[in-house]
Structure formats: structure tokens, C-alpha cells
Copies of this chain bind each other. A is one copy, B any other.
């Protein structure tokens, strides 16, 4: 699975995300016409993610957002009922789409080594495309309202558990070495997260998601696989 084939298969564009968001929230969104709504939701979400990445959700004022999205305060309140509601909209839609991408990444694969590769690829590629959302989710989790907080933690632990389960499968079938799978899963998650948390560093060094992915896979597999290599 290459990054560009992943990009083609999953459709993680803002346009698509905002259209789904609109269709799933017609009751709460006060705008009727789909095209108008989608166009403005894209402007709002793009601007919100940009501002959240710069200064954080709490420090992003709705006046900043209004300026950046090129919509008045009143107009924006036709799309969400409060600042927290805006957060809920972004979280709900993006989380479900990323989860879908991860699941369909490993779907139909049964060899532990292949499943591990594909899960790591799917995670890195998703976060490459939706980096601002991943970054925002990571940095803001602690200040989310209670329900969103739980969902975010749950999602983090779910991905980690999936990693660990694949490792345990591989160990059970004698394919992987009996190393500490729990800790290996945890630090693998940390490496996956570093890709979207330190994007500035990796871009400056001209390291692509493909480079990073290959390295992480080699690093982990060297530790897990029995040495057939030199």
C-alpha cells in the first residue's frame, strides 16, 4: 500500500468530510441548501483547524475564526450552536472517518506481519492527510468536554490495543519473538504520533511519510522477527 493509493481509496478531503457532516447534522444546522452549507463548512473547518494548530482551541476566539473563515459571527452560528458544539462536530466526523480508514486498512488480511504493516501504514497515511485534525485532537484532548474526552481516550487505546493484539497473534503463531508486546505497542503508538506532532521537523529534513513509514516498519520488525538477515 503506497501513500498515493491510500489517498485515492479513502476519500479524506475536507469537501467530503463536510458534506457528510452536513448530511448527518441537518437538524442542528440552520442552513438549508447543501451547496451553501458545504462551501461554508469547509471554510469554517479549514480555518478552525488552522487556528487551533497555531494557538490552541481555547485561545482561538470566534472573532479570529470569523475573520479567517470570511464569515460573520452570526453566519457561523448558523452552523453550530456553541464553540463546544463546533468542536463536537469536527471530532465526531473526523474520528469516524479515520476509524473507517484504519479498519479498511487491515480488512481482509490475516498474516500478522501484513496486518501490522498495513495498520501502521494506514495510521501514518491518515495522519499525513488530516494532520491538522490529528494534531488538534492530541493537543486538546485534556480540555475536551467530558464525553468527547472519553471518546478520544477510547480511540487512542483502541488503536494501541489493535497493535498489541496483532503482535500477540504473531507471537502465538511463532512468527514473532516473545518480546514485551504491551510496551512495544505503546512506543509504536508514540512513534506514529510523532509523525503528526512534529511535522515541522520532518518537513524541514525532507523526510516523507514513505521514508518515515519504511523506517518505523524496519525498526519494529527487526525487533519482532527472528533474524533471517545479517
Contact = CB atoms under 8 A, between A and B. Distances in A.
Interface of A: 53-56, 58-59, 139, 142-143, 180, 182-184, 186-187, 189-191, 193-194, 198, 201-202, 205, 207, 211-212, 215-216, 219, 222-223, 227
Copies of this polypeptide in the complex: 2
A180 to B, nearest CB: 6
Given A55-B58, A219-B223, A227-B227, 5 more contacts: A53-B142, A56-B143, A186-B201, A190-B191, A190-B198
Nearest to A55: B143
Nearest to A202: B186
Contacts of A55: 58, 142-143
Interface of A is mostly: helix
Contacts of A186: 194, 198, 201-202
30 contacts: A53-B142, A54-B142, A55-B58, A55-B142, A55-B143, A56-B56, A56-B58, A56-B142, A56-B143, A58-B58, A59-B143, A139-B139, A182-B205, A183-B211, A183-B215, A184-B215, A184-B219, A186-B198, A187-B191, A187-B194, A187-B216, A187-B219, A189-B194, A190-B190, A190-B191, A190-B193, A219-B223, A222-B222, A223-B223, A227-B227
Contacts of A212: 183
A169 B98 CA distance: 41
B215 A180 contact: yes
Contacts of A222: 222-223
A207 B54 CA distance: 34
Contacts of A59: 58, 143
A132 to B, nearest CB: 13
Contacts of A216: 187
A60 to B, nearest CB: 10
Contacts of A201: 186
Cβ-closest 3 pairs across A and B: A190-B194, A183-B215, A58-B59
A36 B42 CA distance: 55
